[in-house]
Each structure stands twice: as C-alpha cells, then as structure tokens.
Structure 1
Amino acid sequence: MNQKEKLYFEELNKQCREAWAIFKNPMYRGALEIAQNLYKDKAHFVYELLQNADDQGATMVRFILSRDSLIFVHNAPRHFTITNPETHETD
C-alpha cells in the first residue's frame, strides 16, 4: 500500500467508526437490526473474502488470526485498491 492509499484507508476507517457510533445510538436500533440480519451467519464475511479473491483469480489464500486482528492474504494477480473517499461516488 503506498502512502496515498494508506491515507485513504485511514479516512475510510475513520468514516466507518463514525457510522458505527451512529448505529449504536438506540434511535437507530431498527436499522442496525436490519443490517445485522442481512446475513444470519456471523462468519459470512469469510465467504465474501474468498469469493472476492476467487473473482480476482487467486489460487491460494491464507488467514492470519491474532488476538486483535485478522489478516487475509491471497495470490491473485489483481490486488485490492483504495480510492479517495471524497470521490468514491464517481470512481
């Protein structure tokens, strides 16, 4: 990840944390429940990661789990990219 992508990632992370703070507000409980019930399987994200890697042509994946993080690695020729959060709608 280059420096520009790192800044974009940090901004996206900040925006996600702010959105989560809103969803934790009891006033938005219904919206949160709808989002949580979209996929009943709590590990559904694993299937999404595998599908995304497969879509990019990966033949090997690896999960690295630690106490406070999960790292997903694959060997697809096309790698994940991050775009500017401010221009996300038009990118």
Structure 2
Amino acid sequence: MKMSVREARAQFAAALTAVENGERVTITRNGKAVAELGPPPKKGGLDWEKLRAASKKSGLDKYTPEELWPPEFDDPAFSRAVLGLDDDWEPYRP
C-alpha cells in the first residue's frame, strides 16, 4: 500500500491496521518513497519456554542429558560399527 504524507497523517489508524495484517505501507512525498511501515522483525532463535513445555509434555524432562545421549555416541568406533564401515573402507575420491 502507498500513501502520501498527507494521507498517512489523516489515516494513520488505517495504515497501522494494514501493517497488523502483514502488509507494508510505503509513505511518499512528492511521489518518492520516504518511509516504510511494516511489522517488527520476528525474533530469531529458539523459544526456550515452548521447548521446555514440549519436553515436559513428552516426558523428556525426566531424563539427564547423559541418559538421552550415551557417551558411546561420541566414540567414532561406535559410529563405524553402527554404519557397518570396515577398517579398510575408503571414501570415494573422483
């Protein structure tokens, strides 16, 4: 949506409603864009509260990290055994 400065002053509530609905509003002066209204940027990263709630709901909060990720998972020999890789295995090299 585009609005002149005059329209933006007169219809600021309408511009905010458009922004709330996900639209960007460009404000122009003499036909040139001088400002843009838009929704605030979404916060990035993890929502830790949501993660804790999901862990509790699924019962994962009852376990320690060591119980969920046993030490042998960090051993390369364990990974090779699980994947069925022999000692003489070599990666493909073109």
TM-score above 0.5: no
- Larger Rg over CA atoms: 2
- Structure 1 length-normalised TM: 0.23
More helix by share: 1
Q: Which has the higher contact order (CA 8 A, sep 6+)?
A: 1
